Structure 1
Amino acid sequence: MTNLAYESSQGDLDHELVALQNLRPIPRISIQAFCETDSVAGPIDRAADDRRMARAHVKVHMGGIASALDLYQSAPTPNLIILESRHEPKELLASLHQLSEVCDPSTKVIVVGHYNDVWLYRELIRSGISEYVVAPISMADILAVIASIFVDPEAEPLGKSIAFLGAKGGVGSSTLAHNFAWTQSKLFGSETVIADMDLAFGTANINFDQDPAQGIAEAVFAPERIDEVYLDRLLAQCAEKLSLLAAPSTLDRTYDFEPDAFQQIIETAQRSAPMLVLDLPHVWNGWTKTTLMQADDVVITATPELANLRNTKNIVDTLKKLRPNDAPPKLIINQAGMPKRPEISAADFADPLGLTPMAVIPFDPHFFGTAANNGRMLGEMDPKHVIVQTINEIAHVLTGRSEVKARKRSGLGDLFGRLKSSKSSKK
């Protein structure tokens, strides 16, 4: 009996090794499992320690659906929830309906049940459950199911890409991109990658107090090497769930690229993390145009001045042509209320653009400067500061957790007449 038992367990192990051999690494996702039995919790724990799950964050709870309901009343849901339930089919469906009321729409759910029921499977899939697995399960089963959801080459990219662009140089677009990335990774526990695409003058490494030996330049100059494993080696860890693809910030070479030079990097990064923040330089060339055209969302940062308004209008009009079936870009007005500087009001700035500002951030050089000089994010300096609260709101809007609040429109007078007359006088 002992030999037969050994041969059986060895056969199971061999089967697992074969099943795991061709699995690609699981991307940077957060996973929480709620189990009722050790026979299900054990394989999930083993899967969490597998090298293919090195980038994922896994936490196993006991208590099943009831524990999940209790937790998510006050906590954000992760990218993936694994639920074990010994409930009968109709009772299971009722419990899952309750859970759906506290889950983010983007959260995927795997159910591990104890009933081999075709009707139940069909009902679960119809109601939006990603997969139903009948217990008992193995480590290989868990990894294969997760991979089928997040690593399927035919599936849509996992990560959302958000491109930040300044209407002019020095308006604070990079600073806001970095603080948004840090904030949303903290607020929502979401794995985030920030790519500093200003290869000559990028500041992400300074703002995050990092000095990585490699970064985005290695990827863009060797596109044939780019895959998820290679990209992972280039990332610098800035916080628990925030990674940086740093710019070299040197002038030892020129950075002239083909229009699609960054696309493979972006697509690979999107398969590796739920959120990709693209910090674009204030330049206009083929690759910036392509990046803006293909990003999931675009954020324009501008200061309330006439040249910024002209540039923002040009960018908005161009994006309408490039992205006719997409939502318009988001607008942040930064450095509002600078002493002794004549300004355009936020309402007058926004009206000719047809946009409602996502945020208006006041001029506060001491707060921003102190954070930058110390290589820290604003939320680390003073979590209760009004600007930090505004960035928290930006994070909610950009991740789809809230909407931009409409503001009352105001008259514009001859603001655009001034723009046109300014152009005429220069001719």
Structure 2
Amino acid sequence: MSDFDGETTPMTGQGDAPSGARLVPRITIQAFCEHSQTAQVIESAAGDRRMSKVALTTHNGGLDGAVETYKTNPTPNLVIVETSLGADQILNALGRLAEVCDPSTRVIVIGHVNDVVLYRELIRAGVSEYLVMPTTTPVLISAISDLFAGADAAPIGRTIGFFSAKGGAGASTIAHNTAWAMARQFRQDVLILDLDLAFGTAALDFNQDPPQGIADAVYANDKMDAVMLDRLMSKAANHISLLAAPAVLDRTYDLSERSFEQIIELSQKHVPMVVIDIPHMWTDWVRHTLSAIDEVVIVAEPDLANLRNAKNIADTIKAARPAEVDPILVINKAGIPKRPEIPAAEFAASIECRLAGEVSFEPGLFGTAANNGQMIAEVSAGHKLNEVFKGISQQVTGRTQGGAGGKSGVLRLPDLFKKLKRAS
């Protein structure tokens, strides 16, 4: 598998972060702020998963502080400067900054003037980005990501993790059938990563017995690359591949926090949609994986224990990734006879997550599919559950959102200091 036509959901406002935004490469950023509110926005960005490789520091002094600093110090890859100057003064101040900056340095200006004439002047000057206060952390991250991982960068696939609120809630079954619906509906490649090394069922559910899989990738360490990833993947169906779990107990799987990080990043570079089947446990690597992927799907049964656990999971994920979309909820095994249940809408409202779908209790259908190594659509192509899985697939991939969108408060301005230096 190689390059693909990746899709991301466009930003619809200053407070929205684009789903599936690209990871920012290993760069150095220095920010010079005039107000504490601006410094808080920038410092919050440093904790975002997309900025995990970035070295970011904040300083006081605004634009003047940046000028004084770079008279005697080298400039980083990106300088962020805040200025409260009026429209007629900003360009002159930027000219002083250009005199002490390396031509390759990019600059984002955070200003307090919302003036189209100023925008045009900054465009002609070549500022990389202009953000108007009040702005937000998601907008800033998007601006940085666009600068350093823009249209000329390799496409990045969307990562979607499925996690059970309680053991036996059925996250694996939901993940695999959703992956099938994604592949059929969008006709794009889907890679399923089964992270339950000891007891994973992805190979069984697709009637596969691959000799290699996710464990080989985990223990390859620095040897893991795109060629090896392609060799370890097994084809399960048209547009669907697996990195299956070994599901053997000849060893224990004591993994470090970032054990799956490299595999997930490599997968994103080669497959447009990556479905991650995360086992029901709570370890450093599970917590890190949930905080580092694009979309988290909590799968729960409609009872009190699931509600408590789902609330804890949702709150933890929201706290770990405040600038990104909240987890979404799938209710599974709804309608078990004689079992008191919490209504799906009430369940979703209680944990403050969007309800993506409700999967009814169909033991005969799911049992037949599991025993045959098939998906629900293969066992019963006309069953109503296929529409449920199709709807879930649309929501987790962002394909239900239309329109071109826009980036309020952001202006794209090319090649700042090269122009100013040539003019001086």
Q: Does 2:28 align with 1:29? A: no
After TM superposition, give the deviation of residue 223 of structure 1 in Å. Answer: 1.4
Query: In the alignment, residue 294 of structure 1 is paired with which amino acid?
Result: A
Instruction: Kindly report the root-mean-square deviation, in angstroms, between the aligned alpha carbons of the 2 structures.
Output: 2.1
Distance 1:197 1:313 in 2: 23
SS in 2 for 1:358: strand
- Matched with 2:400 is 402
Give the TM-score of the pair, scaled to structure 2. 0.59
Query: In the alignment, residue 309 of structure 1 is paired with which amino acid?
Result: L
Query: In the alignment, residue 2 of structure 2 is paired with which amino acid?
Result: P
- Matched with 1:197 is 195
Kindly tell me: are residues 361 and 212 of structure 1, through their superposed partners in 2, closer, same or farther at Cα, counting changes over 3 Å?
same
Give the alignment of 1:87-106 within 5 angstroms. Answer: none
After TM superposition, give the deviation of residue 347 of structure 1 in Å. Answer: 2.4
Distance 1:284 1:27 in 2: 34
- Matched with 1:165 is 163
For each residue in 1:213-239, what CA deviation from the matched residue of structure 2 results, as whole angstroms up to 9, or x when unmatched?
A: 000000101111111100001001011
Give the alignment of 1:238-387 within 5 angstroms. Answer: 238-387=236-385
- Equivalenced residue count is 260
Does the CA contact (< 8 Å) of 1:195 and 1:278 recur in 2? yes
Distance 2:244 2:300 in 1: 24
Kindly tell me: are residues 159 and 333 of structure 1, through their superposed partners in 2, closer, same or farther at Cα, counting changes over 3 Å?
same
Give the TM-score of the pair, scaled to structure 1. 0.59
Unaligned runs of 5+ in 1: 1-25, 32-150, 404-427
Higher relative contact order (CA 8 A, sep 6+): 2
After TM superposition, give the deviation of residue 399 of structure 1 in Å. Answer: 1.7
Does the CA contact (< 8 Å) of 1:161 and 1:276 recur in 2? yes
Structure 1 residue runs of 4 or more that deviate by more than 2 Å after TM superposition:
28-31, 151-157
Unaligned runs of 5+ in 2: 7-148, 402-424
| Deviation larger for 347-356 or 291-300 | 347-356
After TM superposition, give the deviation of residue 183 of structure 1 in Å. Answer: 1.3
- Matched with 1:65 is none
After TM superposition, give the deviation of residue 30 of structure 1 in Å. Answer: 6.8
Distance 1:189 1:307 in 2: 38
SS in 1 for 2:318: helix
Does the CA contact (< 8 Å) of 1:334 and 1:361 recur in 2? yes
Distance 2:251 2:150 in 1: 38
Once the two structures are aligned, what percentage of the paired residues are identical? 49
Kindly tell me: are residues 169 and 322 of structure 1, through their superposed partners in 2, closer, same or farther at Cα, counting changes over 3 Å?
same
After TM superposition, give the deviation of residue 356 of structure 1 in Å. Answer: 3.0
After TM superposition, give the deviation of residue 351 of structure 1 in Å. Answer: 1.8
Distance 2:3 2:174 in 1: 23
- Matched with 1:144 is none
Distance 1:284 1:257 in 2: 12
SS in 2 for 1:271: helix
Kindly tell me: are residues 263 and 304 of structure 1, through their superposed partners in 2, closer, same or farther at Cα, counting changes over 3 Å?
same
Distance 1:226 1:153 in 2: 26
Does the CA contact (< 8 Å) of 2:327 and 2:354 recur in 1? no
Does the CA contact (< 8 Å) of 2:193 and 2:243 recur in 1? yes
SS in 2 for 1:357: strand
SS in 2 for 1:396: helix
For each residue in 1:111-159, what CA deviation from the matched residue of structure 2 results, as whole angstroms up to 9, or x when unmatched?
A: xxxxxxxxxxxxxxxxxxxxxxxxxxxxxxxxxxxxxxxx999836521
- Matched with 1:187 is 185
Kindly tell me: are residues 154 and 221 of structure 1, through their superposed partners in 2, closer, same or farther at Cα, counting changes over 3 Å?
farther
Q: 1:209 aligns with which of 198, 207, 210?
A: 207
Q: Does 2:229 align with 1:228? A: no
SS in 2 for 1:368: helix
Does the CA contact (< 8 Å) of 1:164 and 1:173 recur in 2? yes
Distance 1:28 1:155 in 2: 11
Query: In the alignment, residue 182 of structure 1 is paired with which amino acid?
Result: W
Distance 2:222 2:185 in 1: 36
Distance 2:385 2:196 in 1: 25
